[in-house]
């Protein structure tokens, strides 16, 4: 089941970002951040009482040269695409016209709303919450983003209102998310893939998402392709919402088994590409890099290798991802994509026997021991694979603090040389050996 999405809305200066940061802190177990990827912290992934969720701070989306009400309206419209809306008001300042304006919009839509009255920092302010009943959005919950008061109550209510499942999640087969900047040819690529072999089972419009899931069968195997191409601005209020397309792609990535990261071969690599690819990497998803519009590129015998080299430099953290050059327009090499998807998905599910894993680790350490630090040397005693998708290994060692990130990368490369993990990230967790 996919993790649901909570969107925070509210007028300026009510403490939306404080509440976001509080939820993203120690009171919620947040999915780990991995080095090498930069992203705007306007969304995060967390878990509360065993349920996973994604959190979006719409306050992080600023519209240049727009009056507050226009910006507020844009943010509320963004929130309406998500599963639950967390409406934050300022209990210290009291009810305002902007609060009533937002409530009026929210009352006209069907998404569940949780009303959080922020800045109720002590019991003397509890009486302040009652005027917010006038908004007609149910029982207000008193919270303090600064002190963490009431945050658990808010999350309990948000997760209670979360839809149990989306009908699109019932489809079987490998889920493929097609991600990338606008205008790189995602929709054309999806259409080309579907025409390549295929009985398309049906089109299902996502109930809470712009992305459309299309189940299809390729050489007798079921797949679902998720086209995120519709994820863009809606009218002029979205002109500056580049971040929003990243948020929409993020949801598709969370639900997918393999991500097709599409680059425009004609326009080249753009900065925003790194945001989308970075999230897929952090989410632990297998990735295939698809260079589209290759038919439109003037080339000689060195052009492809030069482009591959540029990709490897710009996306150093995706060194494991295979690269496919295609043209959705002419269908050139489009038929190579699904076999590569199958391979990287299989690699992400690969499980290594413990005895074979430890042979590789032992041989690696004998051949190239870790460099000594302060007279001590990092040493792995034992390794085991604890999960797949992505393959995750726990290494029992003498002292985790002795492992330099370069040696961790070296161990990862050793595992990649010994086993086929092309296309999939792998995770390495080091823990101090427990004494008998």
Give me the average pLDDT of each 10-residue run along the chain (436 residues): 77 86 60 37 75 78 61 74 91 92 90 95 90 95 93 95 64 86 81 65 37 80 76 39 58 86 88 75 92 89 92 92 94 94 97 96 94 90 94 93 90 95 94 77
CA–CA separation, 366 and 375 (whole Å): 18
Q: What is the pLDDT of residue 161?
A: 94
In the chain, CATH 3.40.50.300 sits at 4-161, 168-348
Tell me the two tokens of residue 235. Answer: 């009218």
Please state the pTM of the whole predicted model. Answer: 0.68
Cα first-last separation, the chain: 40
CB-CB contact of 143 with 149 (8 Å)? yes
What H or E segment, with its residue span, contains residue 291?
A: strand 287-292
CA–CA separation, 132 and 324 (whole Å): 55
CATH code linked to domain 354-432: 3.30.300.20
CATH code linked to domain 168-348: 3.40.50.300
CA–CA separation, 190 and 277 (whole Å): 18
Q: What is the pLDDT of residue 191?
A: 86
Give the DSSP per-residue string, 263-277. EETTT---HHHHHHH
CA–CA separation, 355 and 51 (whole Å): 34
**Nearest CA among 260, 173, 177 for reference residue 220:** 173
Tell me the two tokens of residue 44. Answer: 């995060």
- Work out whether the CA dihedral 6, 11, 13, 14 comes out positive or negative: negative
With b for 16 or more beta-carbon neighbours within 10 A and e for fewer, the 323-359 pattern comes to: bbbbbbbeeeebebbbebbbbbbebbebebeeeebbe
> Could you tell me how many residues make up the chain?
436
CA–CA separation, 256 and 227 (whole Å): 11
Q: What is the pLDDT of residue 211?
A: 55
Q: Which option is the CATH number for 4-161: 3.40.190.10, 3.40.50.300, 3.30.390.30, 2.130.10.10?
A: 3.40.50.300
Tell me the two tokens of residue 265. Answer: 């071969």
In the chain, CATH 3.30.300.20 sits at 354-432
Other Cβ atoms less than 10 A from the Cβ of 117: the count is 27
């Amino acid at each position: 089941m996919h993790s649901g999405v909570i969107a925070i809305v509210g007028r300026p200066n009510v403490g939306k970002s404080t509440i976001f940061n509080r939820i993203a802190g120690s009171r919620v177990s947040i999915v780990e951040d991995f080095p090498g990827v930069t992203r705007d912290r306007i969304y995060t992934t967390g878990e509360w009482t065993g349920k996973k969720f994604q959190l979006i701070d719409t306050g992080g989306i600023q519209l240049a040269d727009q009056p507050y009400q226009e910006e507020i309206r844009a943010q509320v419209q963004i929130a309406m695409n998500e599963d639950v809306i967390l409406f934050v008001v300022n209990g210290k300042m009291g009810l305002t016209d902007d609060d009533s304006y937002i409530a009026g919009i929210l009352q006209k839509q069907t998404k569940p709303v949780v009303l959080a009255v922020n800045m109720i920092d002590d019991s003397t302010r509890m009486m302040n919450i009652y005027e917010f009943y006038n908004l007609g959005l149910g029982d207000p919950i008193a919270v303090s983003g600064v002190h963490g008061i009431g945050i658990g109550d808010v999350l309990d209510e948000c997760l209670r209102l979360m839809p149990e499942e989306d009908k699109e999640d019932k489809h079987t087969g490998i889920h493929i998310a097609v991600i990338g900047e606008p205008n790189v040819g995602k929709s054309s690529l999806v259409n080309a893939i579907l025409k390549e072999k295929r009985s398309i089972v049906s089109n299902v419009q996502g109930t809470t998402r712009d992305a459309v899931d299309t189940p299809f069968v390729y050489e007798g195997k079921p797949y679902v392709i998720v086209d995120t191409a519709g994820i863009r601005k809606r009218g002029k209020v979205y002109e500056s919402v580049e971040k929003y397309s990243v948020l929409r792609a993020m949801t598709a990535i969370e639900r997918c088994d393999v991500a097709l990261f599409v680059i425009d071969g004609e326009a080249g690599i753009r900065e925003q590409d790194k945001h989308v690819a970075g999230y897929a990497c952090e989410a632990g998803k297998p990735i295939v890099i698809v260079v589209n519009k290759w038919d439109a590129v003037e080339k000689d015998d060195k052009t492809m290798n030069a482009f591959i080299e540029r990709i490897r430099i710009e996306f150093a953290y995706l060194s494991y991802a295979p690269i496919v050059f295609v043209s959705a327009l002419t269908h050139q090499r489009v038929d190579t994509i699904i076999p590569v998807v199958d391979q990287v998905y299989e690699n992400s599910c690969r499980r290594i026997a413990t005895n074979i894993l430890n042979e590789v680790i032992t041989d690696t350490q004998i051949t190239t021991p870790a460099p000594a630090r302060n007279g001590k040397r990092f040493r792995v005693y034992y390794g085991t694979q604890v999960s797949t998708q992505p393959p995750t290994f726990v290494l029992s060692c003498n002292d985790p603090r002795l492992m330099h990130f370069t040696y961790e990368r070296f161990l990862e490369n050793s595992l990649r040389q010994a086993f086929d993990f092309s296309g999939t990230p792998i995770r390495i967790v080091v823990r101090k050996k427990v004494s008998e």
